[in-house]
Amino acid sequence: MRPVIEVIGVSSSLGGNVRGSELGPSAIKRAGLTSSLEELGLKVKDYGNIKPSKRSRRKDDPKAKNLVDILHESKQIAEAVYRCIKAGRFPLLLGGDHSMAIGSISGFSRAFDNFVGVIYFDAHGDFNTPQTTPSGNVHGMPLALVSGQYGIPALSMQDPIDPTKIAIVGMRSVDPAESGLMKKAGVVVVDMKEIKSKGIIYSITDVIKRVADNGRSVHLSVDIDVLDPTYAQGTGTPVPGGMSLQDLKNALSLLGVSGCVRSLEIAEVNPLKDPSGATVSAAVELIKAFFSL
């Protein structure tokens, strides 16, 4: 019996410098997400949207903007994911900027006693720290934070996850210092050059073997900017040369049938930059591809 899908919205853009991603969850829901999943024979429960707290009065750190508020928000996300999994449901998170991954990965890791892996589709590395970041935007830091790469205990909920069990797929924009940190930590990187050379099916099959070994439970995180802007214009930091919508759908279908993925999130959908609605529609298609088989 397939678990109930619990949809958890994260209505926040605190982690980036572009407004609009806070509207992503509601836009995806309005595009027919629930009915699309129910047509697949799935039961869907709507948790509602987690919204950012009132802005902290503490002086902002230019190297980690809004971090106090983001960590507060992340605790709410983590608790929602943890409770959802413990209730036997499948968390489907809709974002929202990608700093949401701090909370989603933390709650996921806690639910599975830290025996977890992360498959992270993104045009960027998201492995910066306050020492390496050129922007100070926390949506470029979640993987470094949850894997213990700098001295902030993310949410005091669990030990840092093993960075060698993180796979970043579709990356094509990375800062030099960030790249060095990723290599030192042993993060698995499948960049666009490798995907174009080996093909998406081979690449994802290899990622599953490396990240989900010995029965590890996997959190799947998809930043919509992993797609080429041709397919996903409506996002805060688009990067040319990305994945096609069909390749990403094929990848998510393969991950869906693998049985190792126990939660899914779609991040950085920005309706304000999506006048045609194509990016929101792509998000719904990707979710359907994951659950369809």
* Active site residue ranges: 98, 122, 124, 126, 139, 223, 225, 268
Q: Render 135-153 in DSSP notation, one character per residue.
A: S--GGG-HHHHHTT-SS--
3-state helix, strand, coil in the chain (%, to 5): 45, 20, 40
d(CA 234, CA 249): 18
Nearest to residue 269, comparing CAs of 136, 100, 132?
A: 100
Burial class (CB in 10 A: 0-12, 13-18, 19+), 213: exposed
Q: How many CB atoms lie within 10 A of CB 150?
A: 15
* DSSP code per residue over 194-260: HHHHH-HHHHHHHHHHHHSGGG-EEEEEEEGGGB-TTT---SSS--SS-B-HHHHHHHHHHHHHHS-
- Contact assessment for residue 34 and residue 46, using Cβ atoms and an 8 Å cutoff: yes
Q: How far apart are CA 69 and CA 221, in angstroms?
A: 22
Residue 234 exposure: Cα atoms within 13 Å on the Cβ side: 25
DSSP letters, 11-45, are ---TTSSSTTGGGHHHHHHHTTHHHHHHTTT--EE
Yes or no: say if 159 and 147 are a contact pair by the CB < 8 Å rule: no
